[in-house]
Structure 1
Amino acid sequence: MIYNMKKAFTILSMVIFGGMLVYNCEPEPDSLGEQLFLDGAAEGNEVAYDVIAYNMSNNDSIRSDASKLGMATIGAFNESQFGKQKAAYYTQLRLPAYDPDFGAEAIVDSVVLVIKPTYASDSVTTVTDENYVYPDGAVPAKQVMNRYPAVKYGKTKANGGKLTVKVHEVKEFLDGYNDIAYSNKIYEFDQLNPIGSKDFDGFVRSIAITKDSDNASLFSSEAGFRMLLSNNLFQSKIIDKKGQPELKDVASFIRHFRGLRISVEQQDGYLVQFSPSTVELLMYYKSLDTGATAKTQKKYTFSIGNGNVHIGNYIYDRAGSASQTALTGNKDTGDLQLFAQAMGGNSIGIRFPKATIDKLKMLYQNEKAAIVSAKIRMYTDQTAWNKYPKPSLMTIVQRDLDLTKTAGNQVTTNFTEDLLKLSSTPNFAYMRAYALDKNPAYYDFTVTQSLKNIVEAKPGEEIDYSNKYFKIDMGNFLQSSTGNTFAGYQFTSRAFSTDRAVFVGTDSTNPDNDPSKPYEIKLRVTYGKK
């Protein structure tokens, strides 16, 4: 079972809205129009029709600021289809209270950064040390350490399963929590002088230390990855600034200590994720209390999570990869292969060609064939994508290009007509995934109402569909924290989903239902005749 951190960083949850997305082994007809099949009232026919499917470039950039970043990603992954991706994470830190008093003669003992990657909680290795000696006071104790494998995407055994995590001080102001930031921007940081470096071996660990004498707790930590940061930096930037303007208020402090950048050294390996709201930064120091003659150890906890800037930084190098030439697709005739990648990578566009709509209108007008169900079926490419995990979550929205506008935004985006009008229908699912453990897997996207609106429009109410299209992305729609509804078409996990896949696209030379090419993307329409 995959463990996901419960503390949400944004107001959105990644919980799937009930029934809207389903993983199934067998296809199911939409409940829309299913009454036509009851008691043999209609003859059902499913026919595959052409669509135009093409690659859509997003310029390898996406909004990745605090309002979009449900999970932070670090790592590097290089493979032949999509090329190289490196992911880093920027964050601010703040003081829990301003104008702090650290006591007299304060000296930093250690600074610990804790990140908590998602991990498999049902795969644990426990190591117990009955003869452990707690270093502060040489206290006889017992240490119990639980080790869990982190969830990884990519080449999990590359570099011996290790990534070298590096932390740098940010030198450029990161703006405010509510400001927009994009994933391809690299903020200035001190590249030559990392303030922390440690190998991550692919596992997270929880630790519990108890006294031998009375079993009292001396130390405990949740499962995570802990690394030391520079004592000197925090001595000069924090402790030595006691009473000075830099620590007096939040505006001064975030310009004095502008933030941290967390990244990896390697150019290939895997991606790992953690919740920004669970990152911890602890400073241990010793100082003299008033009237005391000996220094005592103290702990100072910085504020990292809510209210701080969080930015995902994703850098791509697609040279020599299969997707290099697919960044800009052919929206007129379609592309043979479709490359979809989250975190700013490609999207997939799908249009209804005139020939398909004309055929369906003829059926409706001449044979009284009503559309019962319509799905866009898309298969993973058997040869190009058969090694890495297949996505179980994707989104689909409808877009309308208004050519009458001469300025401003010409494209309107929204949920599909099916999501807008039919989401409360029993058994409705905007997408179903099939055979994810097989090759190829395939996906059905429900477009019944969207197609019916075009094909079955009354005279005088016809829809100009020539500039309408669907856009498919990796990730899932996020649910509002206030109820069982999606927060909006623009709120998805696309900014931090690690998924990617190659799909079979449009072959403009292939006639309908050519049995030699069974995996081409198609519109599959079930219609009934009374």
Structure 2
Amino acid sequence: MINKIFGSQILWIVLLLGFITSCEQEDNLVGYDIVGGNAANFEKAYVNLTARTIGADTLRSDGRVLYNATIGSYYEPIFGSTKSSYYSQVRLGRLDPQFGEEAQVDSVVLSIPVYAITSDTISKSRSLFKTTYRLSNSDENCTVTDTLTQYLKTVKFPLDSVYGNAEMHMTLRVQRVIENMGTIDSIYYSNKNFQTGEMFGSKVIDNSVVRNSIIQYGSSNPTDSTVISRDTSPNVKVRLDGMNAFVQDEIVNQQGSSNLGDQISFISNVLQGIKIDVVEENGFIFNIAPSEMSMIAYISSNNPNFIDSNGDGIHDPEENCPVVSVLPRRTETLEFIVGSSMSNSSNRYYNVSQNTISNTNGMIMNNPSDPSVNYLKGMGGAKVVLSMDPLQIEGIRNNVDNNGWAINEAHIKVYPETSVQGILPLPRYLYLYNASHNDVLPDYGTPASVEDFPNTQAFPYGEIAMPYNSEEGYYLLRCTEFLKNIVEKNAPIDDLMLELGTFTGVQPTDLFFEPDSPFNSNRIYNPFRLAIHGTNPVANLEKKLQLEIYYGVKN
């Protein structure tokens, strides 16, 4: 303890005197002539930080911020538990749907696309899906001109967006939402739930997904093939057997109802939405792509082209044919819109979605101000507030004002505490923002000279969050302009917030930051967890959480 106090006093004295010996010359981090025409010698100084872990918090989680979403649950004793469910409004794929005679719902299938998959495959399979025939029927001489064979091709992939106990199985369930979910203008946070009703369906899932395609071959040209349908992305498919009767009673049997004539009536009076979650409290969490989600009802009805005057079940023109091509029943589909938005010119209606997260903290909150280790937990689980030592900042300001210091670089190196992290994978990105004002740091945003967006800041989204440097073993987070504003322009000494995630734009080239949405990041669906060395680590003092400053002094 005496050595720690003594070291702090020495640093304070040296800062005030304006004389700090360089710990290590790192010319690659700085340039020359930053203080005028004279050459500069570059030194390194430090400012102590106070770090405090903040526990679970609610995050905005409505569709406006959900470029992706999560489903699942995971628990381990250090960081605690996280459980995620996904809600979506449901809309008709076509208004005022018409069905054939004696229409009957055969099945309803929900496809949940995953956000990311590896290029590897677990298995491939092919099975016969359907065979149809083309006939030539003239002068009572019926012949087969072509045989069309459709195969279902299924490719199974490992799910690489999974976090947690990847080898476990979980029960995925889909329930009916019986509460109005509002509009796209509704703002929801991660603790928001909607009331649910009956179970539509469930399925035991593992860490694999499938991608189906239906391919057709003709006997007249067996080397040629036609893709009839193909999944956009690998996905989890769930049969919603409990929804068959609902679609039959509320949609098929209500053909022509005003409730099916517009989307507002449909979501108000027929079906408000669905909820997707898991039964288990401990398993894994996986990312999904809501905009690619689909839900399709398969409905059979009498074929209006089928003629059977003698009641033998065979199409009359094909009585003498070796096979039949016209069947008494046909299958059509009714697609529902889930997980994405839509609108038209006359009515403004949108698909509302919501990611609900529940977090319980484990050991991380036993001592949130522990100087040896701090914790970050995605999906609103935990973040770290950083405060700079005001006396040392005043010493830096004095040297800038009176001793010719010119700050060239300021950053914080964040080292994972591997003895606590264990086998948990490291998150790809961390980022800093101004905790006192809930704003982006000036290092990453400058006022945009765009008349239509006077209150925005322009910056490249990809640069505000910094990736893990596996060679050096740390995350390096810049805050140069933030510090220079404090010591050169007397800006207030605001706190910083350290958090998991990266910023996301609608397009990779998006360059606008909205001050009222400073947290437009992927943190709501980022399941990672991270233990970091604190401001006074028990060992590895070189991994101390602190502010590093590179400066030049005029000769």
Shared fold (TM-score, shorter chain, > 0.5)? yes
**Pairing 1:271–2:285 present:** yes
Counterpart CA distance in 1 for 2:67 and 2:483 is: 34
- Determine what percentage of the aligned residue pairs are the same residue: 23
Q: CA deviation at 1:361?
A: 2.7
Is the 8 Å Cα contact of residues 70 and 496 (structure 1) preserved in structure 2?
no
Q: Which runs of 5+ in 2 are unaligned?
A: 1-25, 134-147, 308-327, 342-349, 448-456
Q: CA deviation at 1:219?
A: 5.0
Q: Give the one of 146, 160, 172 matched to 2:155.
A: 146
Counterpart CA distance in 1 for 2:543 and 2:276 is: 42
Letter in 2 for 1:54: R
What is the aligned partner in structure 2 of residue 497 from structure 1?
A: 526
Counterpart CA distance in 2 for 1:482 and 1:78 is: 33
CA shift in 2, pair 1:436/1:387, >3 Å: farther
CA shift in 2, pair 1:502/1:420, >3 Å: same
Is the 8 Å Cα contact of residues 465 and 503 (structure 2) preserved in structure 1?
no
Q: CA deviation at 1:167?
A: 0.7
Counterpart CA distance in 1 for 2:194 and 2:302 is: 39
Is the 8 Å Cα contact of residues 459 and 513 (structure 2) preserved in structure 1?
no
Is the 8 Å Cα contact of residues 430 and 466 (structure 2) preserved in structure 1?
no
Q: CA deviation at 1:227?
A: 1.6
CA shift in 2, pair 1:226/1:373, >3 Å: same
Counterpart CA distance in 2 for 1:71 and 1:516 is: 38
What is the aligned partner in structure 1 of residue 80 from structure 2?
A: 83
What is the aligned partner in structure 2 of residue 229 from structure 1?
A: 240
Letter in 2 for 1:145: T
Counterpart CA distance in 1 for 2:288 and 2:459 is: 36
Counterpart CA distance in 2 for 1:114 and 1:516 is: 49
CA shift in 2, pair 1:203/1:425, >3 Å: closer
Q: CA deviation at 1:225?
A: 1.8
Counterpart CA distance in 2 for 1:347 and 1:28 is: 33
What is the aligned partner in structure 2 of residue 205 from structure 1?
A: 210
Is the 8 Å Cα contact of residues 458 and 512 (structure 2) preserved in structure 1?
no
Letter in 2 for 1:487: F
Q: CA deviation at 1:262?
A: 0.7
Task: Please give the root-mean-square deviation of Cα atoms over the aligned residues, in Å.
Answer: 3.2
Q: Give the one of 444, 447, 454 matched to 1:419.
A: 444
Q: Which has the larger radius of gyration?
A: 2
**Pairing 1:312–2:366 present:** no
CA shift in 2, pair 1:290/1:177, >3 Å: farther
Q: CA deviation at 1:126?
A: 4.6
**Pairing 1:133–2:128 present:** yes
CA shift in 2, pair 1:398/1:522, >3 Å: same
Q: CA deviation at 1:483?
A: 4.8
**Pairing 1:297–2:331 present:** yes
Counterpart CA distance in 2 for 1:249 and 1:476 is: 39
**Pairing 1:443–2:470 present:** no
CA shift in 2, pair 1:308/1:355, >3 Å: same
Residues 459-487 of structure 1 deviation map (CA, whole Å, 9 limit, x = unaligned): xxx3332xx11122211122354955143
Q: How many residues are aligned here?
A: 464
Is the 8 Å Cα contact of residues 480 and 487 (structure 1) preserved in structure 2?
no
**Pairing 1:238–2:272 present:** no
Counterpart CA distance in 1 for 2:381 and 2:459 is: 33
Counterpart CA distance in 2 for 1:198 and 1:163 is: 8
**Pairing 1:524–2:553 present:** no
Is the 8 Å Cα contact of residues 295 and 335 (structure 2) preserved in structure 1?
yes
CA shift in 2, pair 1:417/1:118, >3 Å: closer
Q: Is the deviation greater in 282-291 or in 262-271? A: 282-291
Is the 8 Å Cα contact of residues 287 and 296 (structure 1) preserved in structure 2?
yes
What is the aligned partner in structure 2 of residue 367 from structure 1?
A: 403
Q: CA deviation at 1:217?
A: 4.4
Counterpart CA distance in 2 for 1:182 and 1:124 is: 37
CA shift in 2, pair 1:429/1:289, >3 Å: closer
Q: Give the one of 68, 82, 88 matched to 1:71.
A: 68
Counterpart CA distance in 1 for 2:463 and 2:32 is: 14
CA shift in 2, pair 1:435/1:413, >3 Å: closer
Structure 1 counterpart SS, 2:530: strand
What is the aligned partner in structure 2 of residue 463 from structure 1?
A: 491
1:88-487 aligned within 5 A: 88-129=85-126, 132-134=127-129, 141-159=150-168, 162-190=169-197, 193-212=198-217, 213=219, 214=222, 215-217=225-227, 219-222=229-232, 223-230=234-241, 231-255=244-268, 256-288=270-302, 294-304=328-338, 305-306=340-341, 307-318=350-361, 321-325=362-366, 329=368, 335-400=371-436, 412-421=437-446, 430=464, 432-436=466-470, 441-457=473-489, 462-465=490-493, 468-479=494-505, 481=507, 483-487=509-513
Question: Which of 1 and 2 has higher RCO (CA within 8 Å, sep 6+)?
Answer: 1
Counterpart CA distance in 2 for 1:133 and 1:433 is: 47
Letter in 2 for 1:201: D
Counterpart CA distance in 1 for 2:46 and 2:434 is: 21
Residues 57-93 of structure 1 deviation map (CA, whole Å, 9 limit, x = unaligned): 4x43111101011112111111122111111100111
Counterpart CA distance in 2 for 1:66 and 1:200 is: 25
Q: CA deviation at 1:136?
A: 7.1
CA shift in 2, pair 1:217/1:357, >3 Å: closer
Counterpart CA distance in 1 for 2:156 and 2:210 is: 5
Q: CA deviation at 1:221?
A: 3.1
Counterpart CA distance in 2 for 1:352 and 1:114 is: 49
Is the 8 Å Cα contact of residues 52 and 350 (structure 1) preserved in structure 2?
yes
Is the 8 Å Cα contact of residues 158 and 268 (structure 1) preserved in structure 2?
no
Counterpart CA distance in 2 for 1:186 and 1:456 is: 48
Is the 8 Å Cα contact of residues 213 and 227 (structure 2) preserved in structure 1?
yes
Structure 2 counterpart SS, 1:383: helix
Counterpart CA distance in 1 for 2:173 and 2:330 is: 31
Q: CA deviation at 1:49?
A: 2.3
What is the aligned partner in structure 2 of residue 4 from structure 1?
A: none
Letter in 1 for 2:496: F
Q: CA deviation at 1:142?
A: 4.2
Q: Which runs of 5+ in 1 are unaligned?
A: 1-26, 401-411
Residues 413-457 of structure 1 deviation map (CA, whole Å, 9 limit, x = unaligned): 32212223499999x95554444378xx32221111221222234
CA shift in 2, pair 1:145/1:429, >3 Å: closer
